[in-house]
A and B are shown apart, each in its own frame.
Chain A
Amino acid sequence: QVQLVQSGAEVKKPGASVKVSCKASGYTFTGYYMHWVRQAPGQGLEWMGWINPNSGGTNYAQKFQGRVTMTRDTSISTAYMELSRLRSDDTAVYYCAREDVVVVAADYYYYMDVWGKGTTVTVSS
């Protein structure tokens, strides 16, 4: 079945970087964009960006430009999200989510249909 398995929890110090992985299975990895979304404790969802696993092309939310890097390794069907210069307010659960597209009468419908279980990143001195 289609699933996304994320790496384990991380504890980092302010100023450090974290790299979270998301391994895809059950579908053709290069056929679907991968998004990253985070959720701070008790807060809502925050979209971070996406990567096209086929080309490696990326699109980052403006808030994270310059601090986030999304990459992929197609040989192992894994996407990565690296966030640098960590601050305490980066403490959150980070999710990867597969994008799917439905085409109906020349209209394109985009959504995130499969989600990983999340990776908790704690930033603390």
Chain B
Amino acid sequence: EIVLTQSPGTLSLSPGERATLSCRASQSVSSSYLAWYQQKPGQAPRLLIYGASSRATGIPDRFSGSGSGTDFTLTISRLEPEDFAVYYCQQYGSSFGQGTRLEIK
């Protein structure tokens, strides 16, 4: 089973700053199967990125995804107050990463 490891566990930044979140796989993952989700307290997860780099419908362009093989990255170019949440990567039909908590500094 492929294990996804996200880093950092917690990221403390201020609104307007750039956030870079990492997702590393224990073995190569098809980019087609790599997605990123955002979850806020008390809410269901929300799809942000699929296919490693394609934004889901309605997702602002400050969110971008990149990577291939075993290393994937979610970047938020300029943080808005509503972006502070927990972010998960997932390989389709398999496990999620443990999540990165993005908190206000």
Q: How many Å lie between the Cα of A47 and that of B97 in the bound state?
A: 11
> When A and B form their complex, which 3 residue pairs have the shortest distance between CB atoms, in order from nearest?
A111-B50, A115-B44, A109-B51
Known: A95-B44, A118-B44. A47 touches B90 (CB 8 A): yes
11 contacts between A and B (CB under 8 A): A44-B99, A45-B45, A47-B94, A97-B45, A109-B54, A110-B32, A111-B56, A112-B45, A113-B47, A115-B46, A118-B44
The answer to whether B93 and A47 have CB atoms under 8 Å apart is yes
The answer to whether B47 and A110 have CB atoms under 8 Å apart is no
The answer to whether A112 and B51 have CB atoms under 8 Å apart is no
Q: Give the chain B neighbours of A87 by CB distance below 8 A.
A: none
Q: Does A76 contact B (CB under 8 A)?
A: no
Q: Does A14 contact B (CB under 8 A)?
A: no
- Classify the interface of chain A: helix, strand, loop or mixed: strand
The answer to whether A112 and B35 have CB atoms under 8 Å apart is yes
Q: Which of A37, A59, A62, A109 has the most CB atoms of chain B within a 10 A radius of its CB?
A: A109
Q: Scan residues 18-50 of chain A and give those whose CB is less than 8 A from a CB of chain B.
A: 35, 37, 44-47, 50
Q: How many Å lie between the Cα of A91 and that of B97 in the bound state?
A: 20
* Inter-chain CB contacts under 8 Å: number: 67
Having A109-B51, A113-B57, one finds 13 other A-B pairs with CB under 8 Å, namely: A37-B96, A44-B97, A45-B45, A46-B96, A47-B93, A62-B1, A102-B51, A109-B32, A110-B93, A111-B47, A112-B47, A117-B44, A118-B44
Q: Does B98 contact A (CB under 8 A)?
A: yes
The answer to whether B99 and A45 have CB atoms under 8 Å apart is yes
Q: Give the chain A neighbours of B46 by CB distance below 8 A.
A: 115
The answer to whether A107 and B93 have CB atoms under 8 Å apart is no
Q: How many Å lie between the Cα of A47 and that of B39 in the bound state?
A: 15
Q: Scan residues 22-54 of chain B and give those whose CB is less than 8 A from a CB of chain A.
A: 32-33, 35, 37, 39, 44-47, 50-51, 54
